[in-house]
């Protein structure tokens, strides 16, 4: 019989809802469940495995008796994660608060599962776009080494939260009905548009989202010399981040060798048959937990270059599923 533990889910937005869904689907051994959120959400009801739970307002003393605290992200992580650890819980955090802290493991189970063993109470979940990237890079890195990675992302609005999803719905109706379009979540309308701007711009001209991919990938891959450049774009898609990834390997790999590497890679689904118009699409990948890879081809601009198209559900593998996989790993290693 699986050891059952008391779990707290902190946050009830898009990622918080996905956490509850994934916990249920994967039959995670929950003994007791607390659902915590802001004062605004306190008192509302959520369902988990056919039972109703009342959302409680998060407070420092909310974590008494909790073994595992899954933080959906946002300000709550910085405010309450240390309190949860103090109460004896292990925290798996979806915010950016602890990702680059050298004392905090940054984990993708298919890539660096060994890092859970040195946690000191908090384990960080990487950025959604980073997670699917490193799942695709790790098999190539192990097979041939990697010199350089150039990424262009096409990121769904759900990565910016439920309000962004509602904004895209509203703006789409406004455009189609010929009404004026106003933007609140994003700086410009997102309906029928693409925004080369995710998070705030940094002094080097890159956005914080782009630099997250650089720094987090290096930390997860344990290679501070890895050359990475990213351009992050928000697109009018509800769920599913896409990435055009160009990799320069240290050793030559043929496309067929790469296909075979990905066929064996954990957490990867190879969907690559251009003649049959078979390649990953966000509408196909939504609701799935794997990272889908297609459009494999030699990069014509660089020696030992490979180009590929990488797609994943940003709410699941990019957030909730990865967090629950970390929790499953902790149980397997008797660290919970």
CB 134 within 8 A of CB 221: yes
Cα–Cα separations (whole angstroms), residue 20 to 117, 119, 170: 25, 24, 27
Confidence (pLDDT) at 2:
73
| Fold of domain 5-125+319-332 | Rossmann fold (3.40.50)
Confidence (pLDDT) at 132:
98
Catalytic residue among 67, 119, 194, 241: 241
Strand pairing of 241-249 and 305-312? Answer: antiparallel
Which uninterrupted H or E stretch holds 260? helix 255-264
Sorted by sequence, the CB contacts under 8 Å of residue 222 that are 6+ apart come out as 112
Q: What is the pLDDT of residues 266-304, one digit of tens each?
A: 999 999 999 999 999 999 999 999 999 999 999 999 999
Q: pLDDT at residue 115 above 60?
A: yes
Q: What is the pLDDT of residues 191-246, one digit of tens each?
A: 999 999 999 999 999 999 999 999 999 999 999 999 999 999 999 999 999 999 99
Q: What is the pLDDT of residues 252-263, one digit of tens each?
A: 999 999 999 999
Confidence (pLDDT) at 93:
98
**Any catalytic annotation for residue 241?**
yes
CB 115 within 8 A of CB 106: yes
Q: pLDDT at residue 166 above 80?
A: yes
Does domain 130-314 bear CATH number 3.30.360.10?
yes
Q: What is the pLDDT of residues 1-42, one digit of tens each?
A: 578 999 999 999 999 999 999 999 999 999 999 999 999 999
Domain boundaries, given as residue ranges, for the chain: 5-125+319-332, 130-314
Quick check: helix, strand or coil at residue 91? strand
Confidence (pLDDT) at 188:
97
Catalytic residue among 128, 197, 215, 242: 128
Domains 5-125+319-332 and 130-314 share a fold: no
The secondary structure of residue 41, as a DSSP letter, is T
Percentage of the chain surpassing pLDDT 70? 100
Confidence (pLDDT) at 68:
98
Mean pLDDT of 298-322: 97
Mean pLDDT of 111-128: 97
**Any catalytic annotation for residue 119?**
no
Tokens of 245: 């990834």
Q: What is the pLDDT of residues 50-108, one digit of tens each?
A: 999 999 999 999 999 999 999 998 899 999 999 999 999 999 999 999 999 999 999 99
pLDDT tier at 333 (50, 70, 90 boundaries)? very high
Confidence (pLDDT) at 74:
87
Confidence (pLDDT) at 3:
84
Tell me the average pLDDT of the chain: 97
pLDDT tier at 140 (50, 70, 90 boundaries)? very high
């Amino acid at each position: 019989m699986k050891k059952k533990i008391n779990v707290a889910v902190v946050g009830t937005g898009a990622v918080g809802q996905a956490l509850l869904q994934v916990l249920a689907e994967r039959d995670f051994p929950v003994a007791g469940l607390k659902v915590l959120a802001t004062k605004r959400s306190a008192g509302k009801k959520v369902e988990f495995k056919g039972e109703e739970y009342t959302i409680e307002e998060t407070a420092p003393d909310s974590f008494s008796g909790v073994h595992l605290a899954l933080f959906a992200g946002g300000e709550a992580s910085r405010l309450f994660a240390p309190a949860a650890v103090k109460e004896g819980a292990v925290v798996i955090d979806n915010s950016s608060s602890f990702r680059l802290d050298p004392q905090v493991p940054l984990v993708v189970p298919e890539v660096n599962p060994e890092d859970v063993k040195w946690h000191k109470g908090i384990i960080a979940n990487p950025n959604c776009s980073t997670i699917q990237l490193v799942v695709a890079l790790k098999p190539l890195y192990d097979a041939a080494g990697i010199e350089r990675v150039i990424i262009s992302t096409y990121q769904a609005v759900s990565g910016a939260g439920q309000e962004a999803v509602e904004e895209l719905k509203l703006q789409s109706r406004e455009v189609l009905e010929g009404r004026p379009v106003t933007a609140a979540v994003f700086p410009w309308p997102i309906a029928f548009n693409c925004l080369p701007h995710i998070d705030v711009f940094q002094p080097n001209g890159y956005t914080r989202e782009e630099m997250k991919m650089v720094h987090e990938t290096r930390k997860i891959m344990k290679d501070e010399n890895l050359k990475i450049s990213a351009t992050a774009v928000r697109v009018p898609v509800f769920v599913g981040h896409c990435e055009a990834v160009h990799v320069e390997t240290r050793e030559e790999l043929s496309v067929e060798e790469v296909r075979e590497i990905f066929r064996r890679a954990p957490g990867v689904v190879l969907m690559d048959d251009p003649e049959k118009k078979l390649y990953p699409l966000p509408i196909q990948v939504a609701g799935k937990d794997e990272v889908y890879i297609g459009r494999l081809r030699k990069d014509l601009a660089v020696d030992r270059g490979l180009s590929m198209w990488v797609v994943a559900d940003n709410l699941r593998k990019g957030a909730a599923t990865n967090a629950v996989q970390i929790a499953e790993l902790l149980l397997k290693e008797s660290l919970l």
